[in-house]
């Protein structure tokens, strides 16, 4: 992909970010962040035009994709086998259905029995048998 020189002035994106040609996306991103932290961002006192130039250079370098020459697959030798017959799709195993939800009722009943009823019954029994 040719680089549009008018969008970057006379400098190339590699030169703006300080990365070598053929730099990977991680290296381009790291160089961009480094330049921004050095004062290339308007929020940190940098020039807005410089930041736009850095961002454009980053975008151009990240959008460049190397073209890979692909050739047609080699022709198959002999007749092409037919597709296998398609039957019904296998179904996923069924999960067992959960039992009924009981909520907190039994738990509350046990706590009530343990903390309220049992001490009263124990006290009554002690009054009856301990004399």
- 116: which residues sit within 8 A by CB, 6+ positions away? none
- Mean local confidence (pLDDT), 102-118: 83
Report yes or no on 70 lying in a domain: no
Report yes or no on 14 lying in a domain: yes
**In this structure, what CATH number is given to the domain that contains residue 37?**
1.10.287.110
Report yes or no on 117 lying in a domain: no
- Mean local confidence (pLDDT), 93-106: 78
Residue 108 has pLDDT above 50, yes or no: yes
Half-sphere exposure of 15 (CA within 13 A, CB side): 7
pLDDT digits (tens, 9 = 90+) for 47-79: 888 888 989 999 988 887 654 545 556 666 777
For 47, the domain range is 6-63
Report yes or no on 111 lying in a domain: no
The domain total for the chain is 1
Provide the percentage of residues in the chain whose pLDDT is more than 90.
8
Report yes or no on 42 lying in a domain: yes
What the block records as the tokens of 24 is: 């990977």
Report yes or no on 129 lying in a domain: no
pLDDT digits (tens, 9 = 90+) for 17-48: 899 888 888 999 999 988 888 877 777 777 88
Report yes or no on 120 lying in a domain: no
């Amino acid at each position: 992909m040719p680089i549009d020189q008018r969008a970057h002035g006379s400098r190339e994106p590699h030169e703006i970010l300080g990365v070598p040609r053929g730099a990977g996306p991680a290296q381009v991103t790291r160089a961009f962040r480094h330049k921004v932290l050095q004062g290339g961002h308007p929020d940190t006192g940098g020039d807005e035009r410089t930041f736009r130039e850095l961002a454009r250079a980053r975008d151009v370098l990240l959008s460049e994709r190397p073209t890979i020459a692909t050739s047609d697959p080699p022709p198959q030798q002999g007749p092409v086998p037919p597709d296998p017959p398609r039957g019904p799709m296998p179904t996923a195993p069924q999960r067992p259905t959960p039992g009924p939800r009981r909520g907190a009722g039994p738990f509350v009943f046990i706590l009530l029995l343990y903390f309220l009823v049992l001490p009263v019954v124990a006290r009554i029994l002690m009054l009856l048998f301990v004399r």
